[in-house]
Each structure stands twice: as C-alpha cells, then as structure tokens.
Amino acid sequence: MTETQTAVPEAEAPAPAALSAENITVTFGGLVAVNDVSFTVPDQSIVSLIGPNGAGKTTFFNALTGLYQPDRGGRVVLNGLDVTGMSPNRIASLGLARTFQNIRLFNLMTAEENVKVAMHSHLKSGVFGTVLGLPWQRREEREAHEVALELLDFVGIGKTAYEYARNLSYGDQRRLEVARALALKPRVVLLDEPTAGMNPRESAAFVEFVHRVRDERKVSVLLIEHDMSVVMRVSERITVLDRGEKIAEGTAEEVRTNPRVVEAYLGSSAGDNHITIADEEGE
C-alpha cells in the first residue's frame, strides 16, 4: 500500500515559495482596483507591499486571503497548493493568517479568550465541546489555555491575559491580533498596516517584533505598511503598487531610489503618503 498523499506538504518537505500570486486582477464594477499583479513571498521572508492610498494594497490582500475572488486567470498558491477560490476560513486553516487594517477583536472577551477563539477552528471540540465538558474536551481546553498564554507571552502581553481586549492599549491590541493570527499555526502572516496609530517608539519596537515572529515562529511575514521608516528597516523585499499596478519591486534601496516610486509618492499630496527618500537612519 502506498502512503496516502495529503494536500498539505509536511514542514520538512523542500519548501516552495510560501505564497505566490499570479496575475491577480480585482475589479469593482468598472474600477480595476488591482491590475494583473504577480508576486512571491519566499519561505521565511519579510516582505512589504507599499503604495499611496487607494493603490489597491488591501484589495490585493483580500484576494490572497479568499475574501475576494480574483478575476479569471488569477491564481493564489499557498505552500505549493492552489487555494484559488477557497473560502477565507479554509485558506486560513491551510496556513495563511492575517490581521486587519481596522482592529477586529472581541472587545468583551479577555485577551486569552480572544486567542482561544482563534484557535478553535483548529480544535476538535469547538465551543460546544467546551460547554459539555467531556474529559478529552476538558484536556483540549486546558491545552488551548496553555498555548494561548504562551502566545500572549511571545507577543509580549502575557500580563494582560485576563483583561478585556478593549481595555488594552492600542499597541497591545495590535499584538493581540498577531497572537490570534499565530494561533492558526500559519505559514504566512499578513499584517495590514500594523503600526497605524503607533507612536515612533512603539513602531521601532514593532520592527524588532516582526523579526522575532519570523525567526522564532518560522513564518513568512507580508506587511502592508504606511510608515516608511518601518518598511525600509524591516523588509527584505518591497513591492510597490500604484493605481492597481505593480510599478516596482526590489530591496529597500532599489525601491527608494526608483523614479517611478518617487513620482507615485510625490504625485499624491496627502501627508500620510509621504515617502522619505533620504536615508534617515543616521548610522
């Protein structure tokens, strides 16, 4: 008898790109929000997607995670598996976890409960089993509790485990969202504007945090990020969208000096779209 082949390759199998998107187009009525964009997230890399407001970044994310269907011809491949057309839950359980541009937590649950709820899509018993309280379900629940506490410690908010999510500071809510994403044991984590609303000190700490997530959880991280000092410090590779099209791709240095990128940013006058062209690291 041959071994049954599973849809998801084991972690030790030779790694294809963690995620690749081919020819993704998303249209809303007459508006082409994303126009034939292809891109790859290498295994255990940190890559960013940038571009002025309205460039199509979030729409592109939504096409990757299954929230939107790409137009005909588009394909999303996660860890070697074609996930195009699958539901967001299915795609998440296959290894693509995300946070949202606007924080989405259960405000009246504790931090620990928020993580456990995220985890329940992976547990056998689900919420009902927990209520019924059979022995193996209680054991599963206890394990979930321990994993939740471990994840909260990992993201640096272990002390807030039993506080309501809504009472956490903004930065801590962002970290809780990351803990929820990691609860799915993902291969790739997508973070949509994670430092929005953070002060410079929190943002700097976040850059370090993203590195730790990648190194210790062995995931790839794909960021949409407004803060250019964060983007330039954290990204191994940057893809730039403008009006739905990919206009540049490369290292921070290549992108920063790319005339099309400079023009895209300077051409839009909104203050929060400003790209810092000069190297401001001062090292």
Ligand X SMILES: Nc1ncnc2c1ncn2[C@@H]1O[C@H](COP(=O)(O)OP(=O)(O)O)[C@@H](O)[C@H]1O
Chain residues binding Mg ion by CB under 5 A are 57-58
Please choose which of ligand X, Mg ion, none residue 51 contacts, taking the beta carbon within 5 to 8 angstroms, the exact cut-off set by kind: ligand X
Taking the least distance from each CB to Mg ion, the nearer of 148 and 223 is: 223
Please choose which of Mg ion, ligand X, none residue 53 contacts, taking the beta carbon within 5 to 8 angstroms, the exact cut-off set by kind: ligand X
Instruction: List the x/- string, 41-80, binding to ligand X by CB under 6 A.
Output: ----------x-xxxxxxx---------------------
* DSSP per-residue codes, 182-238: HTT--SEEEEESTTTT--HHHHHHHHHHHHHHHHHHT-EEEEE-S-HHHHHHH-SEE
Q: How many residues bind ligand X (CB under 6 A)?
A: 11
**Angle (nearest 5°) at CA 99 between 94 and 104:** 120
Question: At closest approach, how far in Å is the CB of 266 from ligand X?
Answer: 17
Instruction: Find out whether 69 and 85 touch, Cβ atoms under 8 Å.
Output: yes
Taking the least distance from each CB to Mg ion, the nearer of 143 and 272 is: 272
Q: Which two tokens stand for residue 143?
A: 């394990």
Please choose which of ligand X, Mg ion, none residue 136 contacts, taking the beta carbon within 5 to 8 angstroms, the exact cut-off set by kind: none
Question: At closest approach, how far in Å is the CB of 59 from ligand X?
Answer: 3
Distance CA 93, CA 54 (A): 29
Taking the least distance from each CB to ligand X, the nearer of 160 and 268 is: 268
The alpha-carbon radius of gyration of the chain (Å, integer) is: 20
Distance CA 92, CA 97 (A): 5
Q: Which two tokens stand for residue 77?
A: 């491949």
Question: At closest approach, how far in Å is the CB of 104 from ligand X?
Answer: 16
Please choose which of Mg ion, ligand X, none residue 266 contacts, taking the beta carbon within 5 to 8 angstroms, the exact cut-off set by kind: none
Q: Which two tokens stand for residue 157?
A: 């908010």
Q: Which stretch binds ligand X (CB under 6 A): 26-34, 77-85, 161-169, 174-182?
A: 26-34
Distance CA 83, CA 91 (A): 7
Interface residues with ligand X (CB under 6 A) are 28, 31, 33, 51, 53-59
